[in-house]
Structure 1
Amino acid sequence: MNNEERQKTTRRTTRTHPRPLRIAAWLTFAAAAQSAFGQTAAQEGAAAPASGATAAASGKAAVSADGALPAVQVNATSVSDTPLHLETPVSNGALGTRSQIDTPFSTTVVTGEDLADRQANKLGDVFAGDASVTDNSSAYSAWATYITVRGLAIDWQNGFKIDGNPFISYGITMPYENLERVELLKGLGGFMYGFAAPGGVVNYVTKTPGKDPVTSFDVGYRMDGVLTQHADLSRRFGPDGMFGARINYTHEQGKTYNAGNINRNSVALALDGQLTRDLDVYFNAIYQQSRSSGQTPSIYIPGTYTGSSLPATISGGTNWLDSAGQHLNTNLQLYTAGVKYQIAPDWTFNTSASYSKVARDRNESTLTLLNQAGDYTDTRWNGDEGHQDIYWQGTFEGKVKTGPFAHQLVFGAAVQRQTNDYGTAASTIYDTLGAGNLYEPNPYAYYSGSGLAKYRASEINQKALFVSDTVQLTSRWSVLAGLRYTNYDQETFSEAGATTAAYGKNGVITPTFALMYKLDPLTTIYTSYVESLEAGQVVADTYANAGSVLNPLRSRQYEVGIKTEHGRWSANAALFRIERGATYTNSQNVLTQDGTSIYEGIEAGGSVRLGRDWQVAGDVMLLDTWYAKGQTYNGKRVAGAPQFTAAARVTYDVPLVPGLQLGADAKYTGNTEVRPAGDLQTGGYMLVNVGANYMTRIGGHDVTLRAAVDNLANRRYWLFQYDSYIAPGEPRTVSLNAKIDF
């Protein structure tokens, strides 16, 4: 190590605490901006006619039964909501349900209508407007749910929930048409959800029966020839509408943008019963079968790669990389039953149990890149995998007073058993097919059947008790304290059933603390601290130490933020620092733990209604990361963490054509280190998307027409997927959809 490198390392590793002056300066700026921005928006709102403000808040126009176009009418909920949805209730696991604005952590909510307008096709599309989220996903492949949040990957084993219930997300693309909204808790979820990586937690919220009947049908088209049909039916029946039922069905089939094929069927059922004034019961089920072929392979950058930069970019729409025989077939099943009981006016008891089952049949290539000219070796992996999750949780939520203080209490317990089944050595193939080049058609083929043999490879058991108390000290000040106590056991097995590795620990404590201040009823300033522990990783077959189990990693997060929501504008901002044990692949292709990864950053976003017709939203993240206290990469940037990202969206309600809304959004992702050695970057890139939505009335029925063009400029770029893995970004795609409500 030369003197310059040694000085750089010293500077980096001494930054072990948040910068108080920067935090104070940012909060001062945020409070001042909130005050000034609020006055400006209020003046604009006062200047606009009342009917115009109402129409602008909705962004949608109603049409009379005879086809005329009257003034827009919306309900009060629509008027108060903004694109950030800060007053929307979100699930926080052990914290219970509270609005985003009252949650002392950074969160994002994307509603079902947002998903429909964006015509999301993978998880990266869902959070396209959030600068803290980097898209690492590829549609129609096992990578479809890969994203990083604040530079940290979300754990596909523990970071995904459906209605708060765990399931294994690997290879599963959710039917977004069947969802009410998607929630993202950024950063550590240890207290709220138990063992999980610190990237965050994604919670898919399914549609349930409401008080009003729903009958809708929509059809869609996506390049190059994927057709979708979706039906949504909801009814209440019985005395006083005691029982409710809602069913959503989606079928998707056709040729994808890279000459692959998709055939997916998904059905979601939600039943509920309001048995008494205080007692509700419910049952939810999801079943999805998906078969796809022709996936674009991932590209692995080994330590032996020669070249100072990545090869020239290629289009994600090419099928030259898709060696014949590749496919991904998945099956998802989730069944949930629960009871909600109002014990007293201020106390409720909730309990639920769920069972999820995920199966995968994969035949996929990994291209090991050799040099900057694009030469590679094609290695094919083929096998079957399966996972099961059994989960139970019970909570008491209520309010009490002790002297002048009001308490919001949550007590609960949870039990989870996860099993993982992987292919036997005899039925799993991992072979090199041959050599090729990125800029020439891949000539290799490997075909395989399904129903290959599996064995019980590992089992994870968690039992947890948790408690939290949010104390209202004054009308403005409140403090939160929470504690989760977990007994954790993890075992891996040989094909013969013998235990090959085990980790167990009782009494794992993951605390959280927060201090909140209400600047006004619609503005919260907070500071929070949370810890998390993630399960030890079972090393995959692609590494030299395949089959070994790494130690669990503890993470810590410090955050200071502000959230504010108003009728015509909303904003949020946060400073954060995350400390996590570093895991990476070394030059000997060994997956190892060494030192600590540090993530420090600022994220800020806002949305404002300008006049009657314009809505402008923006989001930005500045991120500083480095490895510290290790033996190899001290001071280098953490792989997969861009230093700068920014997103913006503009929508325009066309006054001459009531019901027509035009929109455009853009997202810039800064250059990203591909591997911990810090010698290769993906390069920064910006994607621009445009779209239009038109609401009208045909034959006495509400009709919504939607069109979207993603990657308008057909930009070619390298997408970071995982440590030392990249893929070509998706090409320009066109999506169309027509929905009718009966």
Structure 2
Amino acid sequence: MNPSQSVRRTERSRPRPLQIAAWLAFAAAAQSAFAQSATTGTAAASSSASGTEQSLPAVKVSATSSDDTPLHLTTPVSSGALGTRSQLETPFSTTVVTGEDLANRQANKLGDVFAGDASVTDNSNAYSAWATYITIRGLPIDWQNGFKIDGNPFISYGITMPYENLERVELLKGAGGFMYGFAQPGGVVNYVTKKPGKDPVTSFDIGYRMDGVLSQHADLSRRFGPDGMFGARINYSHEAGKTYNAGDINRNSVALALDGQLTRDLDVYFNAIYQTSRSSGQTPAIYVSPTYVGTSLPATISGGSNLLNSAGQHLNTNLQLYTAGVKYQIAPDWTFNTSASYSKSARDRNESTLTLANQAGDYTDSRWNGDEGHQDIYWQGTFEGKVKTGPFTHQLVFGASVQHQTNDYSTAAGTAGGTLGAGNLYVQNPYFFYSGSGLDKYRASEINQKALFLSDTMQITSRWSLLAGLRYTNYDQESFAESGATTAAYGKNGVVTPTFALMYKLDPLTTVYASYVESLEAGQVVSDIYANGGSVLNPLRSRQYEVGIKSEHERWSANAALFRIERGASYANSQNVLLQDGDSIYEGVEAGGSVRLGRSWQVGGDIMLLDTWYAKGQTYNGKRVAGAPQFTAAARVSYDVPFVPGLQLGADAKYTGNTAVRPAGDLEAGGYMLVNLGANYMTRIGGHDVTLRAAIDNLTNRRYWMFQYDSYIAPGDPRTVSLNAKIDF
């Protein structure tokens, strides 16, 4: 960035009207294009075109119907303090990826799950501690507070979920402070596990992934007892073998879901997840330090290379989650839900950090070894129902939650493998450092949150509705030394995070909305790689403004959103001190849609334009925010082969624009495009349904650098072939 550019950006601290007008015009054009490219043939669309206020007819749409579009806008999603509502009724940008989508995509990390969403950028490799690292609208997701399982919190760091065991994955983009409490404003990911349904399920599948990983998965579901009042579902998955970078993986996971419909109004449930994973051959973290010499990054390498792997590196993890709850129908329009969960995750990690010195790829290899553990105890109770005040109907949700989180880390004596020596990215790493597990741990930090929340969605007319919500939180955070002494503490009662939204129904399946939400994120514990390592920064407040539209019809669906997010900025300065300074601003537009053409073709696309800059600070004012690409686009097409019933062919591509690696804006990870192919074939063999799947990721074997997080990069995954065969009994 030249100096004149920096001055121009420093002078602006609010959205530019012409730019916003152009973005709105683009979003409207995208919506209109999808509307004109397919014939809906519905009376509702005609009445909407008349422009008069009319009573909207009741519409019932099944999220599992055969004509459900890839955006799944009518699928129910969990929205925390907003209760459960469909994407169409949620005044924020959301994405849902179903279990069938996951199976067809043969997802292997979180970036794969959201490969079709232009707002989501993949930030890491599979089979590593960073496999859940993504950025949403250029913002990182909070690994401590940004991940849920069935709405319950757990620590996701190092944990790759068994996607085979999931019903769907939900993504709430942007600030979720009102819905879920303290969290970074990137978004919230909610994994929804498979539950017992009305119909029995017995299925088994086996899979293969390059270079030699074999997997097996079994899914069994039954109802039993008088009138099927009890239900049970168990999913088991296992994978083991040689990974694409000459490492090894051995993972076992089991998920159990039990429910009981004890009376017409009273349901109880219990869910459990247990997973262990052991892997070796980790791709090291690659750190671009402030002393790096050069104006560009070194030449790219393949994520499939084992040149960076050195003996002893491994990642062993364990995840346990237990949830119990009660649902009671108090009255026809009122329900009470309460649940409690306990999650425990642990990591035994031996990992190198390669500190890059220059463009030639020279580095210093430092090995880190340690055991880490986390616990999360959570309770929530909510009332949800409807009341009328005069001509208005109110959809109310109110309740309370309590969360206690602890983080345990290894003692200093067990954490450092030290500096192993110098090396080069293009030469085999010769170093080794072996370590055992079971290191002594100490309580490093505790976080407590107690919250009350209330939301009211008021139906003003048949088309207009107004949402207002408020979360009131008491928050405490403490950090401790190995001796047990308190090293830092922050506590504040009465933290208020509000949300407001205005929604308008163009027709029964089209919602236009404008929303505002605030969020507060926990103070960051500074890593030891910084000069002020061990200190705790203050919590940061974020504000989000969003205007959007969502529409789902029989043959097409589309959505678009214009957003602005203001977040307190934190970054390392030239003295390698991590500090908070000014704000980081994110302005952008995202738009996407899908349309069925004829009987055989389904075409979809997604795009995001993003403008970011640091503002009101002392150091990087006007610079692009690290980790935020300016442009991303995704496209997909599928074809149902008419002369081979049951065969579907598909292709998708995603382009990610160049991304600033450091807040200084002096280094960029270049843009890249990935192309993937897939095929699914459904048939019957021996009276049983059989599904065969094949996928090729990164068809062209493109080499590229991914932004991982501030001042860290990672090599992109290589071309990978995946096969799977499933049989339903």
- Shorter chain as denominator, the TM-score bin is over 0.9
CA apart distance, 1:153: 0.4
Query: SS of 1:42's equivalent?
Result: coil
* One of 265, 268, 272 as aligned partner of 1:281: 268
**Further displaced range: 490-499 or 572-581:** 490-499
One-letter code aligned to 1:441: Q
1:704 to 687, 691, 700: 691
Partner of 2:393: 406
8 A Cα contact 2:696 2:719, kept in partner: yes
What are the superposed Cα offsets for residues 388-431 of structure 1, whole Å, 9 maximum, x if unpaired? 00000000000011111110000110000000000001111141
| Alpha-carbon distance in 2 for matches of 1:597, 1:450 | 40
Aligned ranges for residues 6-21 of structure 1 at < 5 Å?
8-19=5-16
Other structure's SS at 1:657 match = coil
* 1:315-464 correspondence to structure 2 within 5 Å: 315-464=302-451
SS at match of 1:547: coil
**What is the match of residue 46 of structure 2?**
none
Determine which of 129, 133, 144 is the counterpart of 1:142. 129
> What is the aligned counterpart of 1:38 among 26, 35, 44?
35
Q: Which residue of 2 aligns with 1:65?
A: none
Shift of 1:33: 5.6
What is the distance in 2 between the residues matched to 1:309 and 1:123?
A: 28
1:527 shift after superposition: 0.5
For 2:358 and 2:297, the matched residues in 1 are separated by: 8
The answer to whether the 8 Å contact 1:27/1:561 transfers is no
The 1:400–1:680 alpha-carbon spacing in structure 2 relative to 1, beyond 3 Å, is: same
Structure 1 equivalent of residue 284 of structure 2: 297
- The 1:666/1:426 distance shift into structure 2, 3 A limit, reads same
Aligned-residue offset at 1:587: 1.8
Structure 2 partner of 1:495: 482
Would you say the 8 A contact 1:23–1:560 is kept in 2? no
1:656, CA displacement in angstroms? 0.8
Separation in 2 of the partners of 1:43 and 1:163? 34
| Compared CA separation, residues 32 and 363, structure 1 to 2 (3 A) | closer
Gap change, CA 1:76 and 1:267, over 3 Å in 2: closer
Alignment of 1:557-572 (within 5 A): 557-572=544-559
- CA change 1:344–1:300 in 2 (3 A) is same
Two-structure CA RMSD over aligned residues (Å): 1.7
Aligned-pair identity (%): 87
Q: How does 1:8-157 map to 2 (within 5 A)?
A: 8-19=5-16, 23=20, 26-27=23-24, 30-31=27-28, 34=31, 37-42=34-39, 77-157=64-144
Q: Does 1:242 align with 2:219?
A: no
Task: Give the aligned partner of residue 631 of structure 2.
Answer: 644
CA distance in 1, matches of 2:67, 2:11: 46
Cα distance in 2 for residues equivalent to 1:36 and 1:136: 32
The corresponding residue for 1:307 is: 294
Letter in 2 for 1:635: G
2:62–2:74: 8 Å Cα contact kept in structure 1?
no
Once the 2 structures are TM-superposed, how far is the Cα of residue 372 of structure 1 from its aligned partner? 0.5
Q: Mind listing any 5+ residue stretches in structure 1 that lack a counterpart?
A: 47-73
Q: CA deviation at 1:38?
A: 2.9
Give the Cα separation in 1 of the matches to 2:705 and 2:36: 43
Correspondent of 1:717 among 704, 715, 721: 704
- Does the CA-based 8 Å contact 2:125-2:303 persist in structure 1? no
Aligned CA distance change for structure 1 residues 672 and 570 (closer, same or farther; 3 Å): same
Give the match for residue 179 of structure 1. 166
Q: 2:354 is aligned with what amino acid? A: L
- For residues 42 and 229 of structure 2, what CA distance do their matches in structure 1 show? 42
Question: CA separation in 2, counterparts of 1:24 and 1:162?
Answer: 39
Give the direction of change, closer, same or farther, for the CA distance of 1:707–1:9 in structure 2 (3 Å limit). Answer: same
* Within-5 A mapping of 1:497-516: 497-516=484-503
In structure 2, the partner of 1:618 is 605
CA distance in 2, matches of 1:329, 1:487: 35
Whether the aligned pair in 2 keeps the contact of 1:45 and 1:611 (CA below 8 Å) is no
Amino acid at match of 1:361: D
Q: Does the 8 A contact of 2:63 with 2:74 survive in 1?
A: no
Maintained 8 Å contact 2:384/2:396: yes
Amino acid at match of 2:197: G
TM score, norm. by length of structure 2:
0.96
Change (3 A) 1:37 1:483: same
Matching residue of 1:61 = none
What does residue range 528-607 of structure 1 map to in structure 2 within 5 Å?
A: 528-607=515-594
Q: Of residues 157, 160, 177 in structure 1, which corresponds to 2:147?
A: 160
Residue in 2 that maps onto 1:55: none
Q: Distance in 1 between matches of 2:627 and 2:33?
A: 37
Q: Which residue of 1 aligns with 2:55?
A: none
The 8 Å contact of residues 79 and 567 in structure 1, kept in 2 or not, is answered as: no
Counterpart mapping for 1:218-237 below 5 A: 218-237=205-224
Mapped partners of 1:95, 1:727: distance in 2 = 37
Of stretches 583-592 and 7-16 in structure 1, the one that deviates more from structure 2 is: 7-16
Question: Is the Cα contact below 8 Å between 2:37 and 2:595 reproduced in 1?
Answer: no
1:125 partner SS: helix
Shift of 1:11: 3.1
Q: Distance in 1 between matches of 2:212 and 2:197?
A: 35
| Corresponding residue SS for 2:659 | coil
Where does residue 170 of structure 1 map in the other structure? Answer: 157
Question: Are 1:348 and 1:396, in contact at CA under 8 Å, matched by a contact in 2?
Answer: yes
Structure 2 CA distance for partners of 1:518 and 1:28, relative to 1, 3 Å: farther
User: How far apart are residue 78 of structure 1 and its match?
Assistant: 2.3
Alpha-carbon distance between aligned partners in 2 of 1:322 and 1:586, rounded to the nearest angstrom: 30
Shifted more, 370-379 versus 10-19: the winner is 10-19
Q: Distance in 2 between matches of 1:178 and 1:702?
A: 19
Determine the C-alpha separation between the residues in 2 that align with 1:75 and 1:567. 11
Task: Kindly state the Cα deviation for residue 41 of structure 1 after the two structures are TM-superposed.
Answer: 1.0
1:654 aligns with 2:636: no
Q: Distance in 2 between matches of 1:103 and 1:718?
A: 35
The answer as to whether partners of 2:386 and 2:393 remain within 8 angstroms in 1 is yes
- Measured in 1, the distance between the counterparts of 2:29 and 2:254 equals 49
Distance 1:618 1:544 in 2: 44
Offset at residue 18 of structure 1 (A): 3.6
Q: 1:570 to 1:362 in 2, by over 3 A?
A: same
Task: Work out whether residues 253 and 274 of structure 2, in 8 Å CA contact, stay in contact via their aligned partners in 1.
Answer: yes
Residue 188 of structure 2 corresponds to residue 201 of structure 1: yes
| Cα 1:584–1:30 shift into 2, 3 Å | closer
Instruction: Name the CA shift for 1:13/1:282 in 2 (closer, same or farther; >3 Å).
Output: same
Structure 2: distance between partners of 1:190 and 1:457: 25
Say whether residues 1:212 and 2:209 are aligned partners: no
Secondary structure at 2:289 match in 1: coil
Q: Could you list the per-position Cα deviations for residues 108-159 of structure 1 after superposition, in whole angstroms to 9, with x for gaps in the alignment?
A: 0000000000000000000000000000021110000000000000000000
The question of whether the paired residues in 1 share the 8 Å contact of 2:31 and 2:560 is answered with: no
SS at the partner of 2:124? coil
**1:663 Cα deviation after fit:** 0.4
Give 2:422's aligned amino acid.
Answer: A
Residue 545 of structure 1 and its aligned partner are, at CA, apart by 1.0
| Shift in Å, 1:690 | 0.2
CA contact under 8 A between 1:217 and 1:229: conserved in structure 2? yes
Which letter maps to 1:594?
A: D
Q: SS state of the match for residue 426, structure 1?
A: helix
Hey, what does 2:247 align to over in structure 1?
260
Deviation at 1:180, TM superposition (A): 0.2
1:543 to partner: Cα distance: 1.4
Q: Deviations over 1:589-637 (max 9, x none)?
A: 2211111100000100000001110000100000000011111111110
8 Å CA contact retained: 1:157, 1:170: yes
**Aligned partners of 1:467 and 1:150: how far apart in 2?**
28
Q: What secondary structure does 2:426 align onto?
A: coil
